[in-house]
Each structure stands twice: as C-alpha cells, then as structure tokens.
Amino acid sequence: MRYFFAIEPNAQAKLNIDHWRNQYLPAFDHPVPVGNFHITTAFLGEVEQDKLEVICEHIDKQHLPAPFSLTLDQQGYWSKPKVYWLGCQNVPKGLLDLVKLTEKAGKIAKINLPKRPYIAHLTLARKCAFEPASALLAPEFTTPITELGLYESISGKSGVKYLKRFSWTLPNKR
C-alpha cells in the first residue's frame, strides 16, 4: 500500500481554490478532484504494516507544532511530471517542522525517501500537455492547518483516491 503524510486546506479553502481554478485557468483534461487537495509533507511510497506501526508510534511520541496558517499564493508548473500547482511564497515554520518530523518517521522505519528539496505545493492538475498561462487573478488562499494526516493512495477505475488512515491534531500551545 502506498502512503504519504500531508496537511489539508479546510473545506472552504478547497472550494475557493476550485472556484478560482474553474474561473481563472483554462479547463484541464486531468484536474485533481477537490477531495484530493493536500500538501504532502513526506511521500513514503509502499509501506508494509509493521513499518506503518513504527511510523505511527514515532509520530505519537513527538511534540507537534501548534496550528498555523498557510497561504497558497504562487502558481507553478513542472514540465517533467506535467503538473500544475499552487504553492507558498513563504512556507510557515510549522509546515517545515512537520516536514522534518514526517521525514524522520520514514527514516526510522527504514524507508528510502526521495532526496530532493522540499517544495510545498497543492497539485491542481496532472498530465498537462503544456504549461498553462498564469491566471489573470493571482491566487491567494489562506487556510488554518490544525492536523497532520497519514494517507493511503488507492488507484481505481475512476482515478486515485486518498484516504486518511491516521491523523494527529496539532496542539494549541500556551
């Protein structure tokens, strides 16, 4: 089973992003469904059950960052995977802390994580034949982040679904 750690915009932000995508960008052949909107902190890939337990136990013992706000205000396109995305001009410290924590959990479980610089992004469309023109109205979506999730990626006839299998609430610190 394929797994990844991620955070999600709240429901209102997801709807606002979808509305903006439909109003200000060209129609995509392969848009990401709104229900799949997320920002990955660590992609784990194929994970056996025993390693999944190690990963969850590790996260359970960690001091998670306090809830934070995330602003998606940047558009981008990667030509090799043909992906159009929204990103952050300023990545919050809380997100970077979650990236470190989730990558460490993968390493403790002896999972070989991809070695590339972290770029916080939310994928809007896949299999883009060419880079779309930037939207006429720049994106600016701010959402509270209050939870870290561990998701399973399930491929089916109707596409990929991401199911949240475990979650951890970010603690309000005083």
pLDDT digits 0-9 by tens, 117-148: 999 999 999 999 899 988 889 999 999 999 99
Catalytic residue positions?
38, 121
Domain ranges of the chain: 2-169
H or E, element range at 14: helix 11-24
Question: Rounded distance, CA 104 to CA 61, Å?
Answer: 12
pLDDT at 116: 87
- Phi and psi for 51 in degrees, rounded to 5? -70, -35
Which residues, given as ranges, of the chain have pLDDT below 70?
Answer: 174
Do residues 114 and 37 lie in contact, with contact meaning Cβ atoms separated by under 8 Å? no
Distances in whole angstroms, Cα of residue 125 to Cα of each of 28, 63, 78, 128: 7, 34, 11, 7
pTM of the model as a whole: 0.94
pLDDT at 33: 96
Please give the CATH architecture assigned to the domain spanning 2-169: Alpha-Beta Complex (3.90)
